[in-house]
Structures are given as structure tokens and as C-alpha cells.
Amino acid sequence: MSRTTDLTSLWRAIERAGGIDSYVNGQLSERGFLVERREIDTLSDREREAYKKQLKEEAARRLELRREAWQAYKARHIVHLGEGIFWDDHATEDKWDAPDAEERAAENELPPLDGPRDLAEALGLTIPQLRWLAFHRDAATSIHYARFTVAKRDGSERAIWAPMPTLKAAQRWILRNISEKLPIHGASHGFLPGRSIKSNAQEHVGSKLVLKMDLADFFPSVTYPRVRGIFRRAGYREQVSTLLALICTEAPREVVEEGGTTYYVALGPRCLPQGAPTSPSLTNTLCLRLDRRLSGLARSLGWRYTRYADDLTFSLPASHGGEPRLGALLGGARRVVESEGFAVRLDKTRVARAGARQQVTGLVVNGEGPARVPRRLRRQLRAAAHNLEVGRAGPDADPVDRLAGLASFVCMTDPALGAALLGRLRGGSAG
């Protein structure tokens, strides 16, 4: 029998006894260690010494039994989740819980999770394992993420925190069973089945004006309290919402070496990591009201609106006959974004008129045709394919895998051309 099973059986015995104190006293009595209290002044010296010895033995046995009971308690309860995280094992409802929590969860077709044990069972974990995944430390010697960086277009690096297998499995369960089922706005096109950068760009084809705005520090802006609020609004109560939010967030960290030990030191509050499978869907849900308000603002001014992750795009249709009211849109959008807890990157705000190239999520949307990849990229790929075919690819040429990825990007908007380029690239590299 495993230790976990032993502790579970022990806790059941404690519950049947009516709690830890009743269980401990019952065991002491059953084993003959519970000493009947006596007036010490009425005892002889010999009796007093024997009585003290009995009390000392009872105290030692009581301490041993309480230690065992505490281990059993920890096997069935969360107890503590780290620095700055409120937790109460005995809390059932909280004043911030939705008054119709269970009904909301049922409406969203979410699995019923009434407490930590239900969540642990759903994730295929024990309570100690669940606590281990959710526990927060400001300075930790190990974490549940592996860090790597990818190059951004401006030459800087973006840190990606990829979850380790156990945490990733838990996050994938949350993604499939909870976050993907939560409501989102129709203007959202990122990380959704049947939607893509192509569907996002296609909404803005044939425009007089295209306005693009970026949200600053998008994932870091979605902090642990905001994520916990998502799960509460979805229909889960305090305890389950806290655990779900901790599993889906992590603090940005710096790796520090001190005295031969590696520490991962928190640089700020817990937030959505860029690399966790749950992060995109949770941002889409959180942005429901943002998308609703921006869509309404755009519509009131005669514009169209979509969002792909942190990229906001507005466009004024070519058929629009009135004033563009660009200033009203810019000011209104910025106020909405800030009131929803985000910030606009002013240095990346762009306006493109019909006479210039209008590009949305990497695709050109000028004119009435379908959204398409830039002509420059198509030419680059044709030239690369030709160089590979004739054996002129130099040492500084892009790797074939990267070129193939770009050709797959072309496939999304022009399947025939993309497939032809892929064939040429693979054939040329094989030769």
C-alpha cells in the first residue's frame, strides 16, 4: 500500500473520529497512554514521579500522533500556497464569488469543480502535487518553466517561458475543458479554430484608411488577480479559481547565481507567461469587453475593427462617404484601452492610406482582392528557390527550413504558389 493511500485512510479515520483532537485522544485511550488527571498535591513522592513519567509518555505519544495526523491533513488539503497568496482550507464561499456561480459554469458547459479535491482528480494529480504546481515563491531554486528567447523583428529578444511536462499537461486540460469554452467576441481572430492572420486581414480589404495599434506588454498586463477573476466569472468559487489562476500564471523571473545555488527571482507580479498553452485563450476571454467596446466605437464612426492578440486594427471602408473622424477614433480607442487595464504603444501606432501599402498582420489588404503576402516576399522566395536549383546558395543564405516556413505562409493565401515554392525549395536543397 502506498504512502498516499495510507495517509488517505488515516484522514478518513480522523474524520470519522470527529477531528484531529478527538482522533488523537481516542488513539491514546485505545493504546493505554491517556493518563487520568490527578491532584499532584495528594500524591506521594513515588506516585508523583510515576505520574510525571506517565504524562511525559502521553505527551510524546500525543506529539507523534499529531504529526501523523498533520501529514494526513496535508495529503488531503492545500494548507498554504506561498508568499502573498491568500488561502483558507475551510472557506466554501467568498463575497466576491458570483452569486449564481454553479449556474454560470453549467451555462458555459464547464466541468463541475467544487473544491481542490475535484480539481486534483480532474487533472490526475494528488493534492500535494496540485499544491506543488500552484505554489508561489518570490525566490525559488526551481520552477515549472524552461526559459528561452526568440528574436523580434526589431532585433531585440522576446523571452518565452515554456511549461515543464506536468504543468503543461495541467494547462492543456484547463485549455480544453475550461478556457476554450468561455465566451469571446467576434472581432477576435487570434488562436481560434477557423480563424487566423488571414481571416483577420481579410476584414480590412478595400479600405480608405487602415489604423493599426499595439497593446504594450500584453501578456504581462494580464496579472494573477485578473486571471482569477476570469475563472470566478466563469462560475468557479474562490478556492478553485485561485488554484486555476496560479497554474496558469507565473512571475517574470531573473536567473541569479549565489553561493553555487541558482535562484529564480521574481521581478514582478504573476502574469500570463508567453509560452503557456492557456495564455492566448485567457486573453481572448479577458478582452471580451475591450473588443465589444472598441467594435462599438468603430461602428459608430463608420469604421471596422478586429484584434489579433495584441494587434488592434481599424479600417475605414472605401464606400464610406463622410469624414473619417480619425482623431475621434484614436482618442476614443486609447481611452477604452486604458480603462480596460491595458496601454497603447504609441510608437507603433500607424495609419496607412489607400495610396500606400496597407498591411494587416503581415498581409497586404490594398484593393478589393483577397489579403495576400507582400510581393517582396514572393520575389525573395522565387530567387531563393532558383539559387538552390542552380547551386548558387551562398553561406549567408537563409536556411531551407526557414524558407520553407515562409513558403507555408504563402500557402495560406495562395495555395498553388505556396505549394510550388515548397516543392522547388525542397527539390533544390535535395539536389
Alpha-carbon 129 to chain mean position:
19
pLDDT of residue 209: 97
Decide: helix, strand or coil at residue 100.
coil
The yes-or-no verdict on residue 346 having pLDDT over 50 is yes
Backbone angles phi, psi at 11, to 5 degrees: -65, -35
Q: Decide: residue 97, CB within 10 A, 0-12 exposed, 13-18 middle, 19+ buried.
A: middle
Rounded to 5°, angle at Cα 340 from 106 and 112: 15
What value does the mean pLDDT of the chain take?
92
pLDDT of residue 1: 46
Residues in a beta bridge with 264: 140, 255
Interatomic CA distance for residues 363 and 203, integer angstroms: 12
Q: What is the pLDDT of residues 84-101, one digit of tens each?
A: 999 999 877 777 787 888
Contacts of range 268-271, beta carbons closer than 8 Å, 24 or more positions apart: 268/220, 269/223, 269/224, 270/136, 270/223, 270/224, 270/246, 271/219, 271/220, 271/221, 271/222, 271/223, 271/224
Interatomic CA distance for residues 69 and 67, integer angstroms: 5
Selected residue with higher pLDDT from 123 and 392: 123
> Regarding the domain with residue range 188-219+286-370, which homologous superfamily does it belong to in the CATH classification?
Reverse transcriptase/Diguanylate cyclase domain (3.30.70.270)
What's this model's pTM, rounded to 2 decimal places? 0.88
Interatomic CA distance for residues 307 and 298, integer angstroms: 12
CA distances from 40 to 44, 249, 329 (A): 9, 59, 87
Q: What is the pLDDT of residues 232-257, one digit of tens each?
A: 999 999 999 999 999 999 999 999 99
Q: What is the pLDDT of residues 349-373, one digit of tens each?
A: 999 999 899 999 999 999 888 999 9
